[in-house]
Structure 1
Amino acid sequence: MKDRKAVARFGSRSAVRLSDLAELVRAPAALSVPGDVLAGAAAVGRPLSARTFGVIGSSVCLYWAGMALNDYADAAVDSVERPGRPVPSGRVPRRTALAVAGTLTAAGLGLAAAAGGRRGVGVALPLAGLVWAYDLKLKSTPAGGFAMAGARVLDVLAGAVAAGGGAESVGGLLRRAAVPAGLVGVHTGTLMALSRYEVGGAPERVPSATLAVSAVTALAAGAVPVSGGVLRGAARGCSASAAPSGLVAQFPAPLKGVAGAVTSKRLRAAIGLGGALAYLGTYGAAQVRAMREPSGENVGRAVGAGIMGLMPLQAALTARGGAPGVAAALGVIHPLARRLARRISPT
């Protein structure tokens, strides 16, 4: 009986199931990418512009390209350590993995150009370069962790640059997104430190150190900074359209903006704190288990939890940037991503 599952053809001699391609690129793990871009866009005040969605598509393509390229480069190692992966198992030819990586890289750069023009390409090109350099050369060197963290930092900065458009200098946009970009980079650094021990297990000091860094990261992400937002809200409050409904609507006009700004600040604080706690509840808990029993299996689970745990961290950073509604949406996606990760491993 013919296999009725969908297949994708690459040349006349091979046919690859779409399910195998999804496993090759770790498809569900790409749900950890949009939050990077949204956190950067929120930091400059425009989290949901059309350009932002274009950059999200670009970053997802580059992420998937990196996963496919990783399996191309690691075919020999995976044949011993992970023989069930698509390339060593023979379900996806090695040359096909390389073709997928190249095609997705070109698509990512094209989407970046369409969404952000020269500015978009100016961020996407070094991002693609880091992805390819990491997989082909840097992975096994001390620079590997910095390369991967740098790629995530560029994801966040790409969102800021695209959302900002031409209204502000690139330097100004990058400065405004520096905090979320830095925290995402620090988180990625802990993942890379753990990922080196997924097979043979880790010294106890490694998960202990990454747990401490993750706790500080969560604390910084959940802290909503005090700024001039209340005063700006007061200035807007003199117009009826800026006034919130309910009890606040009964306040005198000069106080409506202040009350609305305070309410918004509390919402940002609540969602930011919730995201930070969810981050520690997923990634932190997995690191505690790895600290108690630093076997390769537990370390691998901590890495997987860290990839998925990036989403509540992104939610906290997006709320910090002043977009609590977008942050709440990221929080809703997190359980879905974790469920999909049980079917297709994110590592």
Structure 2
Amino acid sequence: MRLSRWGGAAGLLLLLTAVGLARGDRPARYGPVPESPAATDGLSGAGGTAPVPDRLRTTTLREEAGAWAELLRVSALFTVPGDALAGAAAIGRRPDRGTALAVGASLCLYEAGMALNDWADREEDAVDRPHRPIPSGRVAPGAALAAAGALTAAGLALAARAGRPSCAVASALAATVWSYDLYLKHTEAGPAAMATARSLDLLLGATATARAAATATASAAARAPAARNAPAAPSVRAALPAAALLGAHTYAVTLVSRHEAQGGSTTAPLGALAATLALGAAVASERRRPGRAAGAPARLLLTAFAGAYLRTAAPPHLHAALNPSPPLTQRAVGGGIRAMIPLQAGLAARAGAPVTALVLMGLVPLARTFARKVSPT
């Protein structure tokens, strides 16, 4: 399947970047084990240099992989494919080759933003979050910056394979990500920039899917004259409402995340709670299509997705509003990130793609499991 092929290529690039670049500037504690006279005499028998045990070498590689997994927030990756899939559903199309390319591009650009975020915040994190990979010395700053650049290039290359319109949307998305991490994060425009990035990610899926559909229609018309009366290619404008809803959720979560290090804000989680309730109501309302009556199964499915979204995001926001401590604020941010999956599923179901919605909901337990091992914030 093309999706797995592109996903594998992105994963290989990420692995090569993480292992190869990190070795170029590895902290001293990852180097050879300091020798002691006892160790030298006992292991070499002649005063020579003792080899590094295989067990220690394996542990070191595992620690490096864990540091990069933490830097790249791999547990949050499960919230990314739903953007492109919800975008395809919003224009009334099934996932196709263009959707797969958009998913691959989104994954690369998202991870680029994670690496760049920690590189840009390395001095601040040294004070507020010294346990993070860069300030703790587990990942070199230069390696993180190089990974951000390589992943950005990979994302744009995948988007270009989906056509010029998709490449243009991906370029705007990449520019938004880099602008946010380097300049806008600590300004009033920060939450709006993050919301724009998520909205563009959904529109990237819609654009790539629409382009692939148009290409397929043109090819069919060239082969069979009777196919010339086929429906016109879908318009990306149909995805704008879904992009706005996803952007609104992102805006609210980003406002809360600005206080996750120090805490102390009740306004941000209260605002996020109000936004969550409003978005849940919007997801639960079925979008009526001309000539199509609302059915009980569709309403039941939308209600289930809206309930999953509210259950994931609302309680942590409420707890952070009642007690705005850093741990509860961070938990609210994590809940808001994971809630993107049921929100994307609800948007897909609302657009008439229940199968896509159910597939997306299958990512929820995976995201929850990985979040216990690697924090998404």
Q: TM (normalized to structure 2)?
A: 0.78
Letter of the 1:200 counterpart? Q
Return the alpha-carbon distance in structure 2 between the equivalents of residues 172 and 145 of structure 1.
30
How far off its partner does 1:36 sit? 1.0
Q: Do the aligned residues in 2 keep the contact of 1:44 with 1:173 (CA within 8 Å)? A: yes
Kindly indicate whether residue 181 of structure 2 is the aligned counterpart of residue 135 of structure 1. Answer: yes
Residue 171 and residue 135 in structure 1: after superposition, are their counterparts in 2 closer, same or farther (change >3 A)?
A: farther
Q: Find 1:189's aligned residue among 243, 248, 251.
A: 251
User: What residue number does 2:57 align with?
Assistant: none
Q: Is structure 2 residue 25 aligned with structure 1 residue 14?
A: yes
Displacement of 1:174 in angstroms is: 3.0
Which residue does 2:338 correspond to in 1?
308
Contact 1:267/1:324, CA 8 A, preserved across alignment: no
State the AA in 2 paired with 1:164: A
- Give the superposition deviation at 1:13: 3.4
Q: Would you say the 8 A contact 2:22–2:143 is kept in 1?
A: no
Cα offset, 1:11, TM superposition: 7.6
Asked if 1:343 is matched to 2:373, the reply is yes
Query: In the alignment, is residue 121 of structure 1 matched against residue 132 of structure 2?
Result: no
TM-superposition CA deviations, 1:81-102 (whole Å, max 9, x none): 1111110111100000000000
CA RMSD of aligned residues (A): 2.0
Q: CA deviation at 1:171?
A: 11
Q: Provide, for residues 135-174 of structure 1, a one-character-per-residue CA deviation record: whole Å limited to 9, x for no partner.
A: 0000000011111100000011111111112639x99733
| TM superposition shift of 1:228 | 1.7
Tell me which moved more, 94-103 or 13-22.
13-22
TM-score (norm 1): 0.84
Report if aligned partners of 2:78, 2:366 keep a CA contact under 8 Å in 1: no
Letter in 1 for 2:74: A
Q: Distance in 1 between matches of 2:291 and 2:260?
A: 45
Counterpart CA distance in 2 for 1:162 and 1:268 is 27
Measured against aligned partners, the alpha-carbon deviations of 1:238-296 in whole angstroms (never above 9, x if no partner) come to: xxxxxxxxxxxxxxxxxxxxxxx76xx43332222211111110110111111111112
Q: What is the Cα deviation at residue 314 of structure 1?
A: 0.5
Give the drift of 1:229: 4.6
3-state DSSP of counterpart to 2:273:
helix
Amino acid at match of 1:330: L
1:36 equivalent to 2:66? Answer no
1:175 matched to 2:215? The reply is: no
Q: Provide the rounded CA distance (Å) in 1 between the counterparts of 2:124 and 2:267.
A: 26
Q: Work out which of the residue numbers 130, 144, 155 in structure 2 matches 1:108.
A: 155
Given that 2:210 and 2:234 are in contact with CA atoms closer than 8 Å, whether structure 1 keeps it comes out as: no
**Distance change in 2, residues 1:89/1:335 (3 Å):** same
Change (3 A) 1:94 1:316: same
Cα distance in structure 1, aligned partners of 2:137 and 2:118: 12
Q: Using the aligned pairs only, state the percent identity.
A: 45
**Given residue 329 of structure 1, which amino acid in structure 2 is its aligned partner?**
V
1:12–1:157: structure 2 CA closer, same or farther, 3 Å change rule? Answer: closer
Unaligned runs of 5+ in 1: 1-5, 231-260
Q: Which residue of 2 aligns with 1:214?
A: 276
Does the aligned pair in 2 maintain the 1:41–1:159 contact within 8 Å?
A: yes
In the alignment, which residue of structure 2 is the partner of 1:286?
A: 316
Q: How many residues align?
A: 308
Structure 1 position 53 matched with structure 2 position 94: no
Greater displacement, 129-138 / 194-203: 194-203
User: Counterpart of 1:71?
Assistant: 118
SS in 2 for 1:8: helix
Determine if contact 2:74/2:374 at 8 Å carries over to the other structure. yes
2 CA distance for matches of 1:26 and 1:12? 20
8 Å contact from structure 1 (residues 39, 156) kept in 2: yes
Give the distance between the partners of 1:89 and 1:229, measured in 2 at CA. 60
SS at match of 2:339: helix
1:318 to 348, 351, 371: 348
Q: Secondary structure at the match of 2:214?
A: coil
Q: Is the 8 A contact 1:222 1:317 kept in 2?
A: no
Name which one, 1 or 2, has greater alpha-carbon Rg.
2
1:155 aligns with 2:201: yes
> Residue type of the partner of 1:97?
A
Is 2:91–2:234's contact at 8 Å kept on the other side of the alignment? no
Amino acid at match of 1:226: R
Q: Deviations for 1:100-122, whole angstroms, at most 9, x for unmatched residues?
A: 000000000001011x2101101
Residue 21 of structure 1: how far off its partner (Å): 1.4
Contact 1:68 1:100 in 2 (8 A): yes
Tell me the distance in 2 between the aligned counterparts of 1:182 and 1:225: 15
